[in-house]
Chain A
Amino acid sequence: MSGPLRFRFLAFVFAAISLACAPPASAEPPAPHPNLRIGILAPLSGPFASGGSSFLEAATLAVERANEGGGILGRRVELVVADSQGRVETAKSEAMRLISREKVFGIVGAYLSEETIGAIEAATAARRILVVPVAATAEITDGVRRDYPRYRYVFRVSYSIPQWAAMMAEFLRQKQARTYAFVGAGIRWNRELAGALKTALSVHNIVPVYEAFYSPRNPAFEPVAVAAAAAAPDFLVLGDPGKNSVVFVKRIREGGSKVPILSVGGSLGDARVAASLPLTGPLYVQAAAWKGTSEAATRYVAAFEKRFGYAPVGYSDTLPHDAMTVLLSAIRAAGRQDTDSVISALEKGAFPGVAGTYRFDAAHQAAWGPGSPDLHGTVIQWEKDGARIVFPRR
Chain B
Amino acid sequence: MNPLAQVLVDGIFTGASYALMAAGLALILGVVKVVNLSHGAFFTLGAYVAYVLESRGLGNPLAAVLMAAVIAFAFGVFLCKSFINPVRSHPFSVAVGSLGFAILFEQAAQMLWGPHTLSIDLGAPVAVVDGVTLRRWGVISFLVSLGLLGGLSLLLSRPWGLPLKLIAEDEEIAGSVGMDVEKIRYLTFGAASSVAAIAGALLAPAATITPTMGRVPLILSLIVVIASGMEKVWNIFFLAVGLGLLSNVSAYLFAPHWSYVLLLAVICLLLVFRPKGLAAAGPARDY
Q: Taking beta carbons and an 8 Å cutoff, which residues of A are in contact with B? A: 1, 5-6, 8-9, 12-13, 16-17, 19-20, 22, 44-47, 49-50, 52-54, 186, 212-215, 217-220, 222-224, 226-227, 230, 242-244, 246-247, 250, 253-256, 267, 270, 272-273, 276-278, 310
Question: Interface residues of B: mostly helix, strand, loop or mixed?
Answer: helix
Contact with A along B45-86 (1 / 0, CB 8 A): 000000000000000000000000000000000100111001
Residues in A with CB closer than 8 Å to B136 are 254
Q: Are B3 and A246 in contact (CB under 8 A)?
A: no
Residue among A20, A46, A247, A254 making CB contact with B208, cutoff 8 Å = A247
Shortest CB–CB separation between residue A371 and chain B, in angstroms?
33
Identify which of residues 177-200 in chain B touch chain A, using a CB-to-CB cut-off of 8 Å. none
Beyond A20-B111, A220-B260, A256-B128, 15 extra complex contacts between A and B, CB < 8 Å: A5-B82, A12-B82, A20-B107, A47-B210, A49-B115, A49-B211, A52-B115, A53-B115, A213-B257, A215-B260, A218-B216, A223-B248, A250-B122, A254-B135, A273-B208
Q: Are A230 and B119 in contact (CB under 8 A)?
A: no
Shortest CB–CB separation between residue B79 and chain A, in angstroms?
9
A-B contacts, 16 of them at CB < 8 A, read A9-B83, A22-B111, A45-B110, A45-B115, A49-B211, A49-B212, A186-B256, A213-B257, A217-B216, A223-B249, A223-B259, A224-B252, A247-B207, A256-B133, A276-B119, A310-B116
Q: Are B257 and A215 in contact (CB under 8 A)?
A: yes
Residues in A with CB closer than 8 Å to B257 are 186, 213-215
Whether a CB of chain A sits under 8 angstroms from the CB of B118 is yes
Residue among A16, A50, A253, A277 making CB contact with B108, cutoff 8 Å = A16
Q: How far is the CA of A162 from the CA of B78 in the complex (A)?
A: 54
Q: Are A226 and B122 in contact (CB under 8 A)?
A: no
Q: Are A223 and B208 in contact (CB under 8 A)?
A: no
Residue among B111, B114, B219 making CB contact with A217, cutoff 8 Å = B219
Q: Are A220 and B82 in contact (CB under 8 A)?
A: no
Q: How far is the CA of A47 from the CA of B117 in the complex (A)?
A: 10
Q: Are A53 and B116 in contact (CB under 8 A)?
A: yes
- For B14, give the chain A residue with the smallest CB separation: A222
Q: How far is the CA of A244 from the CA of B119 in the complex (A)?
A: 11
Residue among B135, B208, B215 making CB contact with A246, cutoff 8 Å = B208
Q: How far is the CA of A270 from the CA of B210 in the complex (A)?
A: 14
Q: Taking beta carbons and an 8 Å cutoff, which residues of B are in contact with A? A: 1, 3, 6-7, 10-11, 13-14, 78, 81-83, 86, 104, 107-108, 110-111, 114-122, 124-125, 128, 133, 135-136, 206-208, 210-212, 215-216, 219-220, 247-249, 251-252, 255-257, 259-260, 263
Residues in B with CB closer than 8 Å to A272 are 116, 118-119
Q: Are A243 and B249 in contact (CB under 8 A)?
A: no
Q: Are A230 and B219 in contact (CB under 8 A)?
A: no
Shortest CB–CB separation between residue A102 and chain B, in angstroms?
23
Q: Are A250 and B3 in contact (CB under 8 A)?
A: no
Q: Are A226 and B117 in contact (CB under 8 A)?
A: no
Residues in A with CB closer than 8 Å to B251 are 214, 220, 223-224
Q: Are A267 and B117 in contact (CB under 8 A)?
A: yes
Shortest CB–CB separation between residue B43 and chain A, in angstroms?
15
Q: Are A50 and B115 in contact (CB under 8 A)?
A: yes
- For A21, give the chain B residue with the smallest CB separation: B107
Q: How far is the CA of A260 from the CA of B272 in the complex (A)?
A: 46
Q: How far is the CA of A255 from the CA of B125 in the complex (A)?
A: 8
Q: Are A1 and B86 in contact (CB under 8 A)?
A: yes
Residues in A with CB closer than 8 Å to B255 are 212-213
Q: How far is the CA of A293 from the CA of B7 in the complex (A)?
A: 42
- For A17, give the chain B residue with the smallest CB separation: B104
- For B7, give the chain A residue with the smallest CB separation: A223
